[in-house]
Amino acid sequence: MRLLALSLLALAFAGTAAASESKPTPAELESELVCPVCETTLDTSNAPVALRMKAFIRARIAAGDTKSEIKAQLVDQFGTAVLAVPPRKGFDLVAWLLPLAGLGLGVVAVGALAWRWSRVRGDAPPAGEEGQPLDPALERRLDDELERFE
């Protein structure tokens, strides 16, 4: 039943993704591209080069270009730094894998420290159990104090 629901959900979004590729909106592309001058997304930048890029996007959409074609033309002109999300291939794959590797190392380090901490605490004998009895006067005082709270 879950598989059927997930399949229907995937099919519902597949049409939206295909429509986005063939008929992109300026707002959609502007949020996925970065101004090479101020290094913010185009939708938040008012730098002259960003305004020219926005005009270029609108002209290419009017000409019927797809989202991939428009991005490819801008990458050819400005390099991959113009993409807000780095591509998942070549050296840019490091930008995707490095955070995951850091997260994995962090989980391993915290797990190892927690394991070590639990072993150190488990080996230490509680107070008064080192094989030496408590001082009789101290034990009597402890019993008196505990009786007060009962």
Mean pLDDT of 91-119: 87
Do 50 and 99 lie in a common domain? no
58 and 119 both lie in a single domain: no
109 and 130 in a common domain:
yes
Nearest to 57 by CA among 74, 40, 41: 74
* Total count of domains within the chain: 2
CATH of the domain at 60: 1.10.8.640
Residues 58 and 115 grouped into a single domain:
no
What pLDDT, on the 0 to 100 scale, is given for residue 1? 67
| Pair (14, 68) in one structural domain | yes
The pLDDT of 117-121, averaged and rounded, is 78
CA pair distance 30, 50, nearest whole angstrom:
9
Pairwise CA distance, residues 2 & 25, whole Å: 33
Model pTM greater than 0.85?
no
68 and 109 together in one domain: no
Same domain, 100 and 77: no
pLDDT of 60:
92
- Answer yes or no: do 50 and 80 share one domain: yes
pLDDT digits (tens, 9 = 90+) for 31-87: 999 998 898 998 898 999 999 999 999 999 999 999 999 999 999 998 888 988 877
Shared domain for 81 and 133, answered yes or no, is no
Q: Of 58, 85, 112, which residue is a domain's last? A: 85
Q: What is the pLDDT of residue 15?
A: 46
Q: What range does the domain containing 40 cover?
A: 2-85
